[in-house]
């Protein structure tokens, strides 16, 4: 019985380990490896919740451990990836320099990802409205969007060159994601309680878009990291639009 209860916590620890290594990779400027580790952490994050529900192995320690692991993997890891990307761009002599204050504010924006991720996780743990869906952007979605985008810059040097001379765009993205993390915008989760289309219409729509976008990416020969980044941008856009239209209908 005790062994069964330890399975979800073991998976959560794997999540935490992946996130910790991702932070270390970011300081070695190994951004692609850091993103892959965040992606693996997200898999473990899904599996720990799934196994806890399957085995009915819930515990107070498991809940706290899950939040701490998510803070490292989906809060600190993307924050330090951005921090080190900004430093890399700033000191590379081949890139056109920007004013010093832009660089300082960019560094600050990267750290806000970590701060607002902590607020997001604390809010999630104390908000009874978020048992089925989310209020605000989930931390894994934020981390995977940042990680996939920066993974793609290593695949496409022209994309890296463009962002290096305009890295304030990444700072704006970081500020926008920080705001979304603690926003009151309802966002659907991927928890299927049944497979009814009526109850899961938004999930099925998103999965359909993901499949079509994946086929288009394969045909066009686009790297998979851009597909991941596009998916999370579409996920955010759909939820924001639905929130706006629902308020107008009220």
CA distance 167 to 199: 41
pTM: 0.90
Which has the minimum average pLDDT: 15-19, 73-77, 166-170, 179-183?
166-170
pLDDT digits (tens, 9 = 90+) for 78-128: 999 999 999 988 877 666 667 788 888 989 999 999 999 999 999 888 877
| Distance of alpha carbon 204 from the chain centroid | 20
Better pLDDT: 127 or 237: 237
- Distance between CA 203 and CA 225 in Å, rounded? 21
Query: What is the mean pLDDT of the segment spanning 6-18?
Result: 91
Take residue 144 and report the two structure tokens written for it.
Answer: 């995977």
Q: How far apart are CA 15 and CA 5, in angstroms?
A: 17
Strands (E) located in 165-226: 186-187
The radius of gyration computed from the CA coordinates of the chain, to the nearest angstrom, equals 19
The Cα 134–Cα 185 span in angstroms is 8
Q: What pLDDT, on a 0 to 100 scale, did the predictor assign at position 1?
A: 47
Would you call 81 helix, strand, or coil by DSSP? helix
Between the alpha carbon of residue 143 and those of residues 13, 70, 153, the distances in Å are: 18, 10, 16
CB 67 within 8 A of CB 121: yes
The CATH code belonging to domain 2-249 is 1.20.120
Round to whole Å and give the CA distance between 173 and 82: 11
CA-based nearest residue to 65, from 14, 18, 19, 12: 12
What is the residue extent of each domain of the chain?
A: 2-249
Q: Is the pLDDT of residue 249 over 60?
A: no
What's the pLDDT score for residue 83?
Answer: 95
């Amino acid at each position: 019985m005790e062994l069964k209860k330890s399975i979800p916590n073991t998976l959560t620890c794997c999540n935490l380990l992946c996130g910790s290594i991702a932070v270390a990779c970011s300081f070695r400027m190994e951004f692609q490896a850091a993103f892959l580790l965040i992606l693996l952490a997200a898999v473990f994050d899904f599996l720990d919740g799934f196994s806890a529900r399957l085995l009915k192995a819930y515990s107070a320690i498991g809940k706290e451990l899950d939040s701490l692991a998510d803070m490292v993997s989906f809060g600190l890891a993307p924050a330090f990836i951005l921090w080190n990307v900004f430093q890399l761009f700033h000191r590379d002599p081949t890139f056109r320099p920007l004013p010093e204050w832009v660089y300082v504010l960019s560094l600050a924006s990267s750290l806000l990802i970590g701060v607002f991720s902590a607020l997001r996780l604390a809010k999630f743990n104390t908000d009874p409205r978020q048992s089925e869906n989310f209020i605000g952007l989930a931390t894994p979605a934020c981390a995977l969007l940042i990680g996939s985008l920066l993974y793609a810059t290593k695949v496409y040097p022209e994309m890296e060159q463009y962002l290096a001379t305009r890295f304030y765009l990444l700072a704006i993205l970081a500020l926008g994601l920080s705001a979304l993390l603690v926003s009151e915008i309802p966002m659907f989760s991927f928890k299927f309680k049944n497979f009814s289309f009526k109850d899961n219409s938004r999930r099925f729509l998103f999965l359909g878009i993901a499949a079509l976008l994946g086929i288009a990416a394969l045909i066009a020969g686009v790297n998979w990291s851009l597909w991941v980044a596009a998916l999370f941008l579409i996920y955010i856009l759909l939820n924001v639009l639905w929130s706006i239209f629902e308020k107008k209908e009220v």
